[in-house]
Structure 1
């Protein structure tokens, strides 16, 4: 489902989504298609789910125009020996 469709169905709400399709623009992941797992009414629950989210599942508010995620390089352990 496109983000525009999600915004129409769930206006001004938090939703738990799974990213289905995205692309990279200027070191940012721009999400094109998502699957809505459920709507979240309570902002505290939305925060808790966001903190525990992993991989391609996240919580986002439909008040946002687009889903854009900043990509960060993972820190490396250069020179580490075991």
Structure 2
């Protein structure tokens, strides 16, 4: 498990492992880099089968976990439910 200032580093593997999310129920898409986002979409969501970040964001139904450059020591959670 990779940590960043004591918090789970935002990566697909870390999130899937610590949260024990089933790939049958959840799609997890990670972007690279220290400030990359990890997107989690539930199976019933429009963005579940999205193959890229733009498709997930356009679905407006996801949970994202990431660090920002402005506050890189505390993680940010972004929950978008308008499209669910």
TM-score (norm 2): 0.27
Task: Return the structure number with greater relative CO, CA threshold 8 A, min gap 6.
Answer: 1
Q: Relative to total residues, which structure has the larger strand share, 1 or 2?
A: 1
